[in-house]
Copies of this chain bind each other. A is one copy, B any other.
Amino acid sequence: MTTKTNSGRFFEDFAIGEVIRHATPRTVTAGDASLYAALYGTRFAVQSSDVFAKALGYRHAPVDDLLVFHIVFGKTVPDVSLNAVANLGYAAARFLAPVYPGDTLRAVSEVIGLKENSNRRTGVVYVRSTGFNQDGVEVLDYVRWVMVHKRDPEAVIAEEHVPTLPRVVATDALGDACPALDPAAYDDVLAGSLDRWDDYEVGEQIDHVDGMTVEEAEHMLATRLYQNTAKVHFDQLAQASSRFGRRLIYGGHVISLARALSFNGLANAFHVAAINGGRHVAPLFAGDTVYAWSEILDKQPLPGRDDVGGLRVRMVATKNKPCRDFPLKDGEEYDPAVILDLDLWVLAPR
């Protein structure tokens, strides 16, 4: 009788090549953008002002790239990761078209890899998830892999495959979500910084200075806004008996916090064009204070474009430790304060 509830796929329920259409389609609105602003305090001018965005060449202000990511990601949770042990990584995330308030997003995932673990109790599932708008235009494409429980350790997996994934998104695959801009119309003062693409150097490290303490209500509001149903974020009673005894904060919440903090030092890096990869090094809990710093890993023009250039940024977030000393590793291991180590391509006007 209770088969009407979704208990999620187990490892043996996935098959290479399977295409999963996810519920629930979602019209993104100005209300979502306002909530996103209130949750993170993001201040990038392109996403904040219709006037600023139009002057550059956008139809009007697009919603934040990471809001699109979280909404698409949220849709995949009930089908992909409800029985996940851990979210192991993502790669090759590309933003492919701007998303404006009024657009309706839906998501599809293809199973592109399966690898059973030797203990036969779990396996790793690789999916390529794609977000589409109401016109069928791809707005986001990314790969993630998660370790998923098997229902039955004896179950046999028909076909296994580990996909080859790029470590870095190629520069000719960047910028599809950024229309041709008029750099002369880009008002640096209004945008909050005089530093454009040319002013950054490879190897440069930037402490984003500010700290943000997170409350339970905030991360739950965010994660519900993304219709992400992963139980660990919401159910304190169940979590009380978990390893941490606490609700875990959605990793994407940390990414958005770090991205908003990064405005202080990267104000003109207005667009996340790609997420090359990343790791949630340690969990974040309510009451913790998040800080962030960035390192410019690479700097590349975009083929055929002289309006914007790409900065490959390592964005590191910590908890309860300011980033003036750029905490990262402590010998072989991560500094215990580090919670996020993300590798992004961001675009800035030239």
Question: When the two chains form their complex, are residues B225 and A213 in contact, meaning their CB atoms are under 8 A apart?
Answer: no
Which residues of A, 218-242, contact B by the 8 Å Cβ criterion?
Answer: 218, 220-225, 227, 229, 231, 234-238
Question: When the two chains form their complex, are residues A39 and B221 in contact, meaning their CB atoms are under 8 A apart?
Answer: yes
The answer for the CA separation of A24 and B64 in the assembled complex, in Å, is: 15
Task: State which size class the interface on A falls in.
Answer: 35 or more
Question: Is A300 interfacial (CB-CB < 8 Å)?
Answer: no
Question: Is A205 interfacial (CB-CB < 8 Å)?
Answer: yes
Question: When the two chains form their complex, are residues A210 and B190 in contact, meaning their CB atoms are under 8 A apart?
Answer: no
Question: Is A149 interfacial (CB-CB < 8 Å)?
Answer: no
Q: Which residues of B contact A101 (CB under 8 A)?
A: 29-30
- Contact partner, A189, options B21, B204, B209, Cβ 8 Å: B21
Question: Is A117 interfacial (CB-CB < 8 Å)?
Answer: no
Question: Is A23 interfacial (CB-CB < 8 Å)?
Answer: yes
Q: In the complex this chain forms, how many copies of it are found?
A: 3
Closest to A215 in B: B217
Closest to A262 in B: B5
Question: Is A4 interfacial (CB-CB < 8 Å)?
Answer: yes
Question: When the two chains form their complex, are residues A49 and B24 in contact, meaning their CB atoms are under 8 A apart?
Answer: yes
Question: Is A344 interfacial (CB-CB < 8 Å)?
Answer: no
Question: Given A49-B104, A61-B27, A190-B21: A234 and B212 within 8 A (CB)?
Answer: yes
A-B contact pairs, 8 of them (CB 8 A): A6-B192, A23-B190, A38-B225, A50-B134, A213-B237, A217-B221, A218-B220, A237-B320
Question: Is A33 interfacial (CB-CB < 8 Å)?
Answer: yes
Question: Is A37 interfacial (CB-CB < 8 Å)?
Answer: yes
Question: Given A4-B266, A289-B237: A227 and B26 within 8 A (CB)?
Answer: no
Q: Which residues of B contact A206 (CB under 8 A)?
A: 1-2, 4-5
Closest to A27 in B: B50
- Contact partner, A41, options B51, B199, B224, Cβ 8 Å: B224
Question: Is A191 interfacial (CB-CB < 8 Å)?
Answer: yes
Q: Which residues of B contact A38 (CB under 8 A)?
A: 35, 221-222, 224-225
The answer for the CA separation of A189 and B222 in the assembled complex, in Å, is: 25
Q: Which residues of B contact A287 (CB under 8 A)?
A: 236
Q: Which residues of B contact A78 (CB under 8 A)?
A: 192
- Contact partner, A231, options B32, B211, B235, Cβ 8 Å: B211
Question: When the two chains form their complex, are residues B204 and A1 in contact, meaning their CB atoms are under 8 A apart?
Answer: yes
The answer for the CA separation of A7 and B220 in the assembled complex, in Å, is: 32
Question: When the two chains form their complex, are residues B34 and A34 in contact, meaning their CB atoms are under 8 A apart?
Answer: yes
- Hey, what's the 0/1 contact readout for A188-199 against B, CB within 8 Å counting as 1? 011111010001
Question: When the two chains form their complex, are residues A37 and B224 in contact, meaning their CB atoms are under 8 A apart?
Answer: yes
Q: Which of A38, A134, A289 counts the most chain B CB atoms within 10 A?
A: A38
Which residues of A, 2-31, contact B by the 8 Å Cβ criterion?
Answer: 2, 4-7, 21, 23-27, 29-31
Question: Given A24-B48, A43-B227, A45-B23: A265 and B37 within 8 A (CB)?
Answer: no
Q: Which 5 A-B pairs have the closest CB atoms?
A: A31-B34, A23-B192, A41-B224, A211-B235, A25-B49
Q: Which residues of B contact A106 (CB under 8 A)?
A: 49, 190
Closest to A223 in B: B41
- Contact partner, A217, options B104, B218, B266, Cβ 8 Å: B218
